[in-house]
């Protein structure tokens, strides 16, 4: 299991920021998924072209460490900015679907699930929640990226 910082961007700067981080830190972006690359959510209005270009998920690897991020599109990824407190989340990266389900159930118990644990474009399982103390977390069981 790895604990990975997840930076949430509220102004559409995620792609530019991660390109900068990769160059400055000498890292490699191993995953980059735009909202437009994901299936449309039938329960929400269609995304604008600007929103489709923003990043739902990005993963930068530097040496043996990772940092992840995404642009917040209100209503799409369950992220809310509350007085700037939710700009950074801790992502728990696990190796199996079973471990993702176990950790998600245990950590979200008594909290508020913002995105149920499910398969996404980049992961076998991904989910978001605020724990019982109001702190934001994510669970990720990543698919291999090329």
Q: If pLDDT is split at 50, 70 and 90, which confidence band does 16 have?
A: very high
Joined together, the tokens standing for residue 63 give 């040496």
* CA 95/CA 41 separation, integer angstroms: 27
| Residues forming a β-bridge with 140 | 93, 126
Q: Which helix (H) or strand (E) holds 125?
A: strand 123-130
Residue 80 has pLDDT above 60, yes or no: no
What mean pLDDT value characterizes the chain?
87
76-104 core/surface letters (b: 16 or more CB in 10 A; e: else):
bbbbeeeeeebeebebbbbeeeebbbebb
Residue 74 has pLDDT above 70, yes or no: no
Higher-pLDDT residue of 87 and 123 is 123
Residue 84 has pLDDT above 60, yes or no: no
Residue length, the chain?
146
pTM above 0.75, yes or no: no
* Tens digits of residue pLDDT in 34-72: 999 988 888 888 889 999 999 999 999 998 899 999 998
**DSSP assignment of 1-53:** -EEEEEEEESSS-HHHHHHHHHHHHT-EEEEEEEGGGSPP-TTSPPPPHHHHH
Confidence (pLDDT) at 146: 63
* Tens digits of residue pLDDT in 88-109: 888 898 999 999 999 999 989 9
Instruction: For the domain covering 2-142, report its CATH number.
Output: 3.10.180.10
Share of residues in the chain with pLDDT > 70 (%): 90
């Amino acid at each position: 299991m790895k604990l990975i910082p997840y930076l949430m961007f509220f102004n559409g700067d995620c792609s530019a920021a991660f390109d900068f981080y990769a160059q400055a830190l000498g890292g490699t972006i191993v995953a980059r998924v735009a909202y437009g690359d994901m299936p449309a959510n039938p329960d929400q209005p269609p995304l604008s072209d600007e929103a489709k270009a923003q990043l739902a998920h990005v993963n930068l690897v530097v040496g043996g460490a990772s940092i992840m991020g995404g642009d917040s599109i209100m209503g799409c990824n369950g992220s809310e900015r509350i007085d700037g407190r939710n700009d950074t989340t801790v992502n728990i990266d696990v190796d199996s679907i079973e471990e993702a389900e176990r950790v998600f159930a245990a950590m979200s118990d008594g909290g508020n699930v913002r995105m149920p644990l499910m398969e996404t474009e980049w992961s076998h399982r991904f989910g978001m929640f605020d724990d019982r103390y109001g702190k934001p977390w994510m669970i990720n069981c990543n698919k291999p990226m090329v």
